[in-house]
Amino acid sequence: MKQALIIIDAQQELIEGSVKENPVRNKDALLNNINLVVEKAKALGIELIFIRDLDVAEGKGIGFEIHSEIQVPPSAKIFDKSATNAFFGTPLLNKLKENEIMHIVIIGCKTEHCIDTAVRMGTVNGLDVTLLGDGHSTTDSDVLTAEQIVNHHNKILHGHYNVDHFSVVRTTKEDLFQPIHDNYR
């Protein structure tokens, strides 16, 4: 089965924070886990796709770029989006279909916005999705802590389904590129 690793909004200003925004929860662990999974994907020849949000740092400068501590392979594709949905207005879905990719692993920021949307849209678009439970993060909201938001999404997105395709939540310690979705069908 062909697969892709999709790294969403792992951008300098979003992770580190700014005058208007706090840094994401557990940013050092997040960066470490992103790099670990990127290395695993690279070693297996898995397609790597980075998504950048044009709203971050007004779509320019170092704050807009992929975080400086993330090792971006030269072969990685980078798509920019202008919506919460990584599939909307980007070549992402066409790229996945052209390459006959049926399983995607999702990591990045922010949990309750772009990560949640990507997981759900992936299943709607006929993909099995693995969310890296220790590979996404966010900031506190007015009603929930970042930890509560991450834990909540790891719970509700594990087993989320749209008829034939669904999502599971796994960790960096697991063999993410050996999909387990068929175990549940």
| pLDDT tens readout for residues 82-108 | 999 999 999 999 999 999 999 999 999
pLDDT tier at 159, thresholds 50, 70, 90: confident
For residue 92, give the nearest of 1, 4, 181 by alpha carbon: 4
Query: Which domains are assigned to the chain?
Result: 2-180 (3.40.50.850)
pLDDT of residue 20: 87
* Arithmetic mean of pLDDT over the chain: 95
Whether the predicted pLDDT of 162 surpasses 80:
no
Separation CA 24–CA 160 (nearest Å): 25
Express as a percent the part of the chain with pLDDT over 70.
99
pLDDT tier at 23, thresholds 50, 70, 90: very high
Mean pLDDT of the region 158-167: 83
| pLDDT tens readout for residues 39-51 | 999 999 999 999 9
List, edge to edge, every strand of the sheet that includes 165-170: 77-81, 47-53, 2-8, 101-109, 128-137, 165-170, 161-162
| pLDDT tens readout for residues 106-146 | 999 999 999 999 999 999 999 999 999 999 999 999 999 99
pLDDT of residue 183: 82
Alpha helices, H only, 45-91: 61-64
Can you give the pTM of this predicted structure? 0.96
Q: In DSSP terms, which residues pair with 141 in a beta bridge?
A: none
pLDDT of residue 98: 96
Q: Which two tokens stand for residue 165?
A: 């395709």
Q: Tell me if 112 sits within 8 A of 32, measured CB to CB.
A: no
pLDDT of residue 51: 98
Q: Beta strands of the chain (E only): which ranges?
A: 2-8, 47-53, 77-81, 101-109, 128-137, 161-162, 165-170
16 — phi, psi (to 5°)?
-80, -20
pLDDT of residue 182: 86
Q: Which helix (H) or strand (E) holds 84?
A: none
Separation CA 174–CA 185 (nearest Å): 20
Separation CA 92–CA 68 (nearest Å): 23
One-letter amino acid of 66: I
pLDDT of residue 107: 98
